[in-house]
Amino acid sequence: MTDSPTGSGHCLKPRVLIITIQKFNSHSNFTERVGASRDTKELHKVLSKLGFQVTFKIDCTAEEILQEYKQESFRIHGSCFISVISSHGAEGVIYGSDGCPIRLPEIYSMFTPQSCPTLAGKPKIFFIQACRGLQLDDGVYLETDGVMETDSGCSTQSAYSHYEAVPEDTTVHFSTSSDHAAFLRPGYGSIFLQSLCKMLMGEQRHWELLRIMTRINGLVAWSFESRGLNFGGKKQMPCFVSRMRHEVFPFSDRLTPA
């Protein structure tokens, strides 16, 4: 596992934790996610420029990922907390570099008001770049962020319970719809996270959070079409789940949108 904390150590500076899994242990049967590092570099650059204290963790095992989030839950936080997860996945699950699954509710549970009092009433925002199944949307050579046969350890019914586990004042933006694959392009990265970076580099960063996410959905849905012998002509549709109780402007240096 490698890591790199950046930015000043000011305890009230909004924190960002980026978890990127590009290379997996040989025994895990997961393919390398070529292009994931491009997303990480771009996110680090953009979010640091916007004044966040950014830490990124590369190729962590499942247990190491859980430990990183546990440490975050004990920290003193600023006005919000943002996390980006990029890995192979399934419905309600992401995978560590050792191929072991992590149920998303395990992560969410660390940021309830009881588990993380310093973020009580403050926005918690997750962006998740990972497959949520094997279905392809019919609506560059590339790979998908999943595997052909996946045992996530979840039954079909329990797989969707992660929606109910999202804490209050939290929004989760998924790169793709339930049961569908998410795409990653070698040399370019993911259309989902690159669209996020594009939004944050422009005046749209001053928009309210859900408006930003809705525009990202449109950018991905309308501009992306996969290419390649096996996956050519496929589309991708992100979606988000929000339990925010008020409008938030996490990426703006103003209290109202531009």
Active site residue 88: yes
What pLDDT is stored for residue 165 in this prediction? 85
Q: 143 vs 257, which has greater pLDDT?
A: 143
Kindly compute the dihedral angle of the four CA atoms of residues 119, 164, 135, 37, in this order, to the nearest 10 degrees.
10
What pLDDT is stored for residue 256 in this prediction? 40
| Percent above pLDDT 90 for the chain | 63
- Which residue(s) pair with 3 in the sheet? 57
Overall pTM > 0.85: no
Burial of 163 (0-12, 13-18, 19+ CB in 10 A): middle
How would you classify residue 123: left for phi > 0, otherwise alpha for psi between -120 and 50, otherwise beta? Answer: beta
What pLDDT is stored for residue 230 in this prediction? 54
Measured CA to CA, the distance from residue 96 to residue 20 in angstroms comes to 9
Catalytic choice (60, 77, 80, 88): 88
- Return mean pLDDT, the chain: 83
Could you tell me the pLDDT band of residue 152, with boundaries at 50, 70 and 90? very low
In tens, the pLDDT along 155-207 reads 444 545 566 789 999 999 999 888 787 777 887 889 899 999 999 999 999 99
Catalytic choice (60, 131, 173, 180): 131
Active site residue 131: yes
User: What strands lie across the sheet with 53-58, from one edge to the other?
Assistant: 2-5, 53-58, 15-20, 81-86, 124-129, 170-174, 239-242
Could you tell me the two tokens for 178? 């339930």
What pLDDT is stored for residue 184 in this prediction? 79
What pLDDT is stored for residue 254 in this prediction? 44
How would you classify residue 186: left for phi > 0, otherwise alpha for psi between -120 and 50, otherwise beta? Answer: beta
Measured CA to CA, the distance from residue 87 to residue 100 in angstroms comes to 12
In tens, the pLDDT along 64-118 reads 999 999 999 999 999 999 999 999 999 999 999 999 999 999 999 999 999 999 9
**What domains are there in the chain, each with its CATH number?**
2-242 (3.40.50.1460)
**What 3-state DSSP class applies to 2?**
strand
